Each structure stands twice: as structure tokens, then as C-alpha cells.
Structure 1
Amino acid sequence: MYLNKENSIAKSNYKRWFAPIAALSIHLCIGQIYAFSVFNKPLTKIIGITEQLPEDWTLSELGWIFTLAIFFLGASTAVLGKWVEKVGPRKTMFFAAIFFSSGFLLSSLGIYIHELWMLYLGSGVLGGIGLGLGYISPVSTLMKWFPDRPGMAIGMAIMGFGGGAMIASPLSVYLIALYGTETSTGVSETFLTLGLLYLVMMLFGSLIIKIPREGWKPEGFDPTTARKSKLITTQNVLVDTAVKTPQFWLLFMVLGLNVSAGIGVLSQASVMIQEMFSSENKGATEAVTAIDAAIFVGLLSLFNMIGRIVWSTLSDYLGRKTTYSIFFILGIFLYILIPFTVQIGSMFLFTVAFSIIISMYGGGFATIPAYLRDLFGTKQIGAIHGKLLLAWSMAAIIGPITINYLREYQMEVLNVPSADVYNLTMYLMAGLLFIGLLCNLFIKPVDSKYHND
């Protein structure tokens, strides 16, 4: 069968740069999840069309779609990590395409007949499984193709996940406007179109991916003379052993806390900037429109994408531990700065601060596989990475739920102006990053007793 692992072993004329192209075709599609916030407001007006009616879905109800998607991303990678290593990237990418696109198609139907559970099952559960499979499918393969530059290689692929929203955000807004009528918001039709488009692109990636033959290495590469540090091991740790080490759980906290601080912002980026720079903000010169917010979401996606390749490449020279320390220290400062930028009505400083924050959020994802490789070796890196992504599931609950429900409580119970409801959240995110910094500082080489001799 064409999808079988043994049929995807590369011949001598295969160029290793095809592997990042295949990975990008998957990650640019599944990265759409970061643009999901552009659907939130239209989804609250499915019945009212121009205004939200009592029978329409609330923003808090819709927030669970994103949370479910990221939760099942992490859960699927943890459960299926060993299977992915066994069957190879081609079959994994194929099933990622089926799950992810079917999630859009089911959600399209759910929007049309106004059944929220179908969105939870479609974009949340099925889409989340597709996200997980698509996300980890190229990681192990890319490290094998690029043992000389692992950080850069993973960054090239995972930058597509961060950059997917840069394409999806304006495309989704355009399609909603194109399909919108006096009796429809156009969201159902948009989901249908995107589902079919993503299916084609992801299947293309699954067809061109190949794995290197046993013993292959880049021309001129000598692993014995490659750059070494105390945190880069030449040994291997198996996945079932890795989860018993303190290093794994410290990295679990490092990733989870870094992600929690960024993912909540991304889940509500469009609504957040419109509320923080609304007419209630006396310092703002003018209110932010839906189009402005979509541009903001796209800009965050651009920096999410750039951060993945830039920070992961820098980590090849700075080291993973130093790179993560920069994420936490700089992130703490910027989160504390955010309320001040809103207070003075500076959308420019607000945008710059969040752009840097999101670049480090994306950089954290791109750097973590190489961090794992440094500590645990390459033998079962895909499965170990899959287990670690459960931290992403944890973050999917902490980040978005914190922002959604703190916002709702402050507005409805404390009567806090919409421009100020996110201030407390920013300070809490800075606190999470401080804990993450401490965890990162405690990471040291894995004890030799855990090595697979």
C-alpha cells in the first residue's frame, strides 16, 4: 500500500528539502486554528444575522471549540505518538487530512442547522485529532533529514502552523463577506469551502513526504564533530523511560506555562483588541473595526510564524535553555507593559508588544522538539514529543478559559469597562511565565541510568 512506511523510504535522488515543503503543506492548513477567533463574532449572530439574539450562541460557549481542539491535539499526540513512529509520516499525514477536513464539514452542517454540539465534535474533537496528527507527523522525519540543523529544520515546518492564520484570517473574512446575505452570515458556507481546500492541500503533503534510508546522513556531516554542550546527549532515552525523568516534567511545565500565556490571547485576539480599544477607552483615538482586528490577528500570525524559524534557528547557537530563559524574562516584562499601552491609547506599542510575545510563543513550540532531542536523543523523539504536547492540552484550558471567564465576570459582576477587563489577565500571564522561568532554570542533563544502552 502506498501509505505504508516501507513505501515512503527515499531513493538516492530525493532532495531533503522536499520534506519541509510537505510539512509546510500540512502545517499551513492546521495553523488555521489560530485564526478561529475571526469566526467568534459572526457565530454569535447566526440567528440574528446583524445582532445577537437570546437564542444565539454566546462567546463563552463558542470559546470551548478552540479549547477542545487544542485539548484533543495534545491528547491525540500523547496516545498516538508510538503509532506515528511505527507507521511513518505519510500515513499519519493522510489521516490528519481526513480528520481535520471532516471537522470543518461537520461544523458547517452544525452551523447551518444551529447545533452547537456538532461544532464541538467537528472543529473541537475531529479537528483537534487532525491537528495533533498533522502537527507531529513531520517532526521526527525532519530531524532525521537535518541532523546538522535540527532547530532550523523544525522551525521551517512549525512556522507554517504559526503562519497558517496569516492566510486563513483574511481568507475567512473574505469568504464570510462573499457568502453573507440578508438571511445568512456566510459562516457555514465558509467552513465548507475551507474544509475542501484543506483536504486537497494536506493530501498533497502526504503524497510527497519521504523518510531517509537507514544510516543516511547529509554530505559532509560528521556527528562526532558536531557542536556539543552539556545538555546535548549522544545517548537515547525511550519514551516510557523519558516520562519517568524529572527533565520531562520540568519541560512539561516549561512548555505548558509558556503556551498558557500566549494561547489565551490568540484564542480571543480579534475580540480582545476591539474591546481594549473600544469607545470606552478614553485614551484611544478611534475604535478598532472588525477589519482592523482581522489585520491584527494576521499580524500576530506573521510573528508567530517568523518567531518559529528565527528563535529555533537561534537556539542552535544560543542553546535551548538560554533561549527559553529569554522567552520568559522578556515575556514577563511585556505582559506587565500591556495595560499601560492601553491606558495611553497606543495601539502601536500594544501591537509591538503582542507581536514579540507571540513570536516567542511560536518560538517555544519550534524549539521544544530540539530541546527534547538534546536531552533524550532521537530514537523515539516523535513519541516523546507527542507525550509532552499534553502540556498544550493543559494550556488550552488554562489560557482561553482564564481570559473568557475573567472577562465575563469583570464585565457582568464588577461592571469593569471593556477596555480594562484584560488588565488582570495580563498580570496573571506574567506570573505564569515567572514560574516557567524557574522550571527552566532547574533543567540539567538526564542521568545515565535512564539511557537505553
Structure 2
Amino acid sequence: MNVRVADARPLAAASPGRLSREAIVAKPGFNRWLVPPAALAIHLCIGMAYGFSVFWLPLSRSIGITASKACPDLTLLSALVTTTCDWRVADLGWMYTLFFVFLGASAAVFGGWLERAGPRKAGLAAALCWCGGMAISALGIYLHQLWMMWLGSGVIGGIGLGLGYISPVSTLIKWFPDRRGMATGMAIMGFGGGALIGSPLAAILMDWFKTPTSVGVWQTFLVMAAGYCVFMTAGALGYRVPPAGWKPEGWTAPATRAGMITNRHVHLDDAHKTVQFWLIWAALCLNVSAGIGVIGIASPMLQEIFGGSLVGAPGVGFTALDATQKAGVAAIAAGFVGLLSLFNIGGRFFWASLSDKLGRKTTYAIFFALGIALYAAAPSFAAAGSQALFVLSFCVILSMYGGGFATVPAYLADIFGTQFVGAIHGRLLTAWSTAGIVGPVVVNYIRQAQVDAGVSGSQLYDRTMYILAGMLALGFVANLLIRPLKEHWFMKEADVAALEAKGAAVAGAPSGSFGIGRGGLTPTALAAWAVVGIPIAWGVWITLSKALIIFR
């Protein structure tokens, strides 16, 4: 490939000071186990994007307070500027689309800048966008202007999501070459877990702030924005990058598995020109499309399929239940959603860590093969009235949905090397943006077509399950076709050396090791883990206590 003169310039020549990449190169003796908590501090905050639905019902009565003040002639455009009508949940729900479209777009656009500027500057930019966007949304709620919410949290906050999501990826992979999957799994687990903490916290705050004239949402936004700003800033300032050429003491790079792990590097400008990039893109997109579609319909799906059998009234359809029975069914469905979220989070760490042993391609093959089997079997479980097998199937499916997110950064590092993996990952996240549209649209339209055709009960989602299985079959083929890159895609060693020159000055001593002791889980590291671990434990306990209703 051609030599790029621009590659030889210092990575952060235009970024002097404490925020520059040079300023955060770790000194000898730095403990690498301090970096994952810093990443988690950011991901746990931006992960609240998954939990924004907790605000929809209160916001749908922000004018009426006790009941929604509806306007029959309200349209989506008029909802953006109305000050006299309450918003509809559907109008507010567009926030999800904005979140994930701008997450993918900003990750793709700013990924190259992140590699030059370093994770600290990117983390601080993410904090400014995410928390500033929430503050703008709070003003929009106070003035009752939906367009300000869309702009604040949806657009500006969405950019913060993208920057925050990819900010630690490259750094963690370089700190943990021995455990790439585990390292990225720890951080990306935080994004999935953000709603477990944020949703119950938001409910507590809204209850605290509500008055006879306010539902307490704008005040909650401001308090959470302030808290998130502290955590995200601390996380960004905690980032350090390893010296060029660093590796853990006593560790030797393992032999490659059929050439699927490279020790070379592909330039950012070339990665998207390869077939391998687009095959991984397709694999991620199809896996996420199937999973995200289920997340959106999990609660109504369980209620409509099993109906009265959930509350001791077998054979009674959901529509025939009385108000008390429907409330009981809804509570169980909410527990089902909570259980899915726990498996989504746990799967991110479990599968990503397992991929260090099995290899990334094998792990993705398991996602697709097992997913196909479970989706194909789900209609049979529903027809047989087997609630336990049905719930277990979707718990496993959602664990692999989360696992796909957590494993893909390491997959990219295996194929394209680590030099630009953060930016390459950013571009790959456009697959997530695409899936965020495709998955829910496919699932919702199939369901509606079945309803229009008069299908109900356990058969309502049969066609949906088979189509999702078909999507995973396409993903299986895409993953199967991934091969190692040809030699001409890799950068020349001189170009890599020029890029790494700024970090080479302190490369003479080790910066971390395995286990307890120097470079391991020291008291300082354990304290950092406690700061993020205690909120996670609280969120898991709250969610698990609600999910246990399924088993009563």
C-alpha cells in the first residue's frame, strides 16, 4: 500500500497539555486494572439511554399531571412545538431512534479523531455532550418544547453516546492483549448495565421532585446530568494509554488460530475497503437486529402468548382478562423484561471472556447456530404452554445479543490489528444504527400483519420467530466467510513506528502484570472497582427483585 506522509506526524501534535495523548502515556509501574473502572464510569452513565422509557409515561402527562391532556388533532410536527397538549408516548419514543442513529454516526465520524486525540479528550467530550444534552432536555421539558428534547438528548446526547462508547475500546485492547474479549466485555457490560442503575434512580428522583404542578422530570434530568458529569469526568481523567510496544510481564503472544489473529495493523482508511469489514458489519447487524427487535416487544409478547396462564387462569386469552388479572400479567411481563436485561448484561462479560478461549469466529458461530435453534423452537414452547422453556430461550438469546456487542471489538483487533481498532469499531457501529431501525420495524410490522389476519394467542409471534431465525442464518453465513486479510492490506512497519513514536519514550519498563500485587488488584484498584461496582450491585439487586415475580 502507499506510504502516507500524514501518518508520520505526531498523533496529538495539535493537542498539547494534560488532555493530549502524550500526556496520558502511563509511567512504569502503572496498574492496568485502573483502566476498566474508568471505562465503566463512562459506560454506566451513557447506558441510561436504554432506560429513558422510564420517563415516557410521566412526560405524557407533564401538563395534565394526573392524566394526559390529549389533543385529537396533534401530529408529530405539531407535537414538536405545542405548549398546550401533552406529548404522546410514540412522539417521545423517537428519542431511541435518534440515540442509536447518532451513536453510530458520531462513532464513525469521530473515530479517527479519537485515535489522534486520545481517550481522555474523547471521554470529556462525551461527558459534555451527554450531560449537556440532558440539561437542554430539562429546559425543553420545563418550556414544554419537544424539539429541544430531541436536539438535547437525541442529537447532542447521541453524539456523546458514540464518543463515550468507543472512547475506551482501543485503550483496553492495548492494555489487555492477553484478554481482549474480557477487557472490552467489562466496559461494554457497563453500557448494558446503565439502565439498571439509572432507571430505578430516575424513578426515585421523580417521586421526590413531583408536586401538584410538576411530574418532577425536568428536575430529575438536571440532577442526573450533574451526577453523570462527575462520574464521566472522573472516568475520562482516569484514562491512561500504554507505552508503545508494552505487554504484560511474562506474557507471550499465543500462536494464531488458523491465521485469524494478526500481529500487524491495517490503516483506518483501508479497513472499510476490505470484504472482512463488511462481513463483520453484516454479522453484527443481523445479530443485533434480531435481538433488538425482541427487546422492543418482550413485554407484550409474553402477555399475548401466555395470557391468563401467567396468573393461574389457563386457557383465558389476554383480552378476556379482567383489570386485576391484566395488572398481574403486566407485573410478570415487567419481571421478564428485567430478567432479559440481566442476561443482556451478563452475556456481555461471559461471552466476550469466553471468546478469549474459543476465538471470536467460533463464538459468533455459536451465537448464530444456537440463536437459530432457539428462535425456531420458541413457537413450539409457546404452543406447549411451556413458560419456563420460553423464558429461558429468550434469556439465552439476549445474552448472545449483548455478547455480540462485547465480542466485536476484539474480533476487529484480531483481524485488523490494534493501531486503529477504536476508529474501525466506530465505523462498524453504523451496523447498530441500521439494526436499531431494521429490527423493530420488521418485528412490529410482522406482528401487526398477524393481528390484521386474525391470529392471536400463542401463534401470534410464530412467523416473527421464524423470520428472526432466518436473519441469524444469514449472519451465520457472513461469519463463516470471514478469512484472514491478504498481506497488501497491512501497514509497513516504518509507518507503524512513526505513529507510535510519541509513546516509545517510556517503553523501557513494564506497566502491569497478572494477579494480585504490583500491576494487579491493589488496594487502589479495588477502591476504583468499588466506586463502579457498588452502583452495579444495587441496580442488579433492584432488577433481580422485580424479576423474581416470574418464579412465584
Q: Give the TM-score normalised by the residue count of structure 2.
A: 0.75
> For 1:168-222, what per-residue CA distance to the aligned partner results, in whole angstroms no more than 9, with x for missing partners?
2322333333334444333333322222221111111011111112222110112
The correspondence of residues 45-194 of structure 1 with structure 2, limited to 5 A, is: 45-55=61-71, 56-194=86-224
User: d(CA) in 1 for partners of 2:64 and 2:252?
Assistant: 64
- Relative distance call for 1:94 and 1:276 in structure 2 (3 A) is farther
User: d(CA) in 2 for partners of 1:146 and 1:416?
Assistant: 51
> For 1:372-426, what per-residue CA distance to the aligned partner results, in whole angstroms no more than 9, with x for missing partners?
1111111211111111111111111112333455556766x66766987655444
The correspondence of residues 282-293 of structure 1 with structure 2, limited to 5 A, is: 287-288=327-328
Retained in 1: the 8 A contact 2:446–2:464?
Answer: yes
Cα RMSD (Å) of the superposition? 2.8
The correspondence of residues 2-401 of structure 1 with structure 2, limited to 5 A, is: 2-55=18-71, 56-223=86-253, 225-226=254-255, 228-267=257-296, 269=298, 280-281=317-318, 287-288=327-328, 295-339=335-379, 348-401=388-441
User: d(CA) in 1 for partners of 2:300 and 2:337?
Assistant: 10
Deviation at 1:304, TM superposition (A): 1.7
Deviation at 1:13, TM superposition (A): 2.8
User: d(CA) in 1 for partners of 2:353 and 2:252?
Assistant: 20
User: d(CA) in 2 for partners of 1:75 and 1:15?
Assistant: 33
Retained in 1: the 8 A contact 2:379–2:458?
Answer: no
Deviation at 1:344, TM superposition (A): 6.0
- Aligned with 2:23: secondary structure? helix
- Aligned with 1:17: secondary structure? helix
User: d(CA) in 1 for partners of 2:61 and 2:444?
Assistant: 18
User: d(CA) in 2 for partners of 1:20 and 1:331?
Assistant: 30
Percent of pairs with identical residues: 54
Q: Give the TM-score normalised by the residue count of structure 1.
A: 0.90
> For 1:242-293, what per-residue CA distance to the aligned partner results, in whole angstroms no more than 9, with x for missing partners?
1111111111100111111122333455566566666652799764576655
Structure having the higher Rg: 2
Deviates more, 1:335-344 or 1:316-325: 335-344
Q: Which residue of structure 1 aligns with residue 523 of structure 2? A: none
- Out of 440, 444, 453, the position equivalent to 2:479 is 440
User: d(CA) in 1 for partners of 2:344 and 2:251?
Assistant: 31
Deviation at 1:70, TM superposition (A): 0.6
> For 1:211-246, what per-residue CA distance to the aligned partner results, in whole angstroms no more than 9, with x for missing partners?
1122221101123x4554321122221121111111
Deviation at 1:333, TM superposition (A): 2.7
Retained in 2: the 8 A contact 1:39–1:187?
Answer: yes
User: d(CA) in 1 for partners of 2:39 and 2:125?
Assistant: 14
- Relative distance call for 1:10 and 1:102 in structure 2 (3 A) is same
Q: How many residues align?
A: 451
Deviates more, 1:397-406 or 1:127-136: 397-406
Which sections of structure 2, spanning at least 5 residues, go unmatched? 1-16, 72-85, 309-316, 493-552
User: d(CA) in 2 for partners of 1:328 and 1:64?
Assistant: 29
Q: Which amino acid aligns with 2:360?
A: R
Deviates more, 1:382-391 or 1:118-127: 118-127
Q: Which amino acid aligns with 2:431?
A: A
Retained in 2: the 8 A contact 1:406–1:421?
Answer: no
Q: Which amino acid aligns with 2:318?
A: N
Q: Which amino acid aligns with 2:21?
A: K
User: d(CA) in 2 for partners of 1:407 and 1:288?
Assistant: 23
> For 1:77-110, what per-residue CA distance to the aligned partner results, in whole angstroms no more than 9, with x for missing partners?
1111110000001010001111111222222222
User: d(CA) in 2 for partners of 1:250 and 1:198?
Assistant: 36
- Aligned with 1:185: secondary structure? coil
- Out of 487, 490, 493, the position equivalent to 1:451 is 490
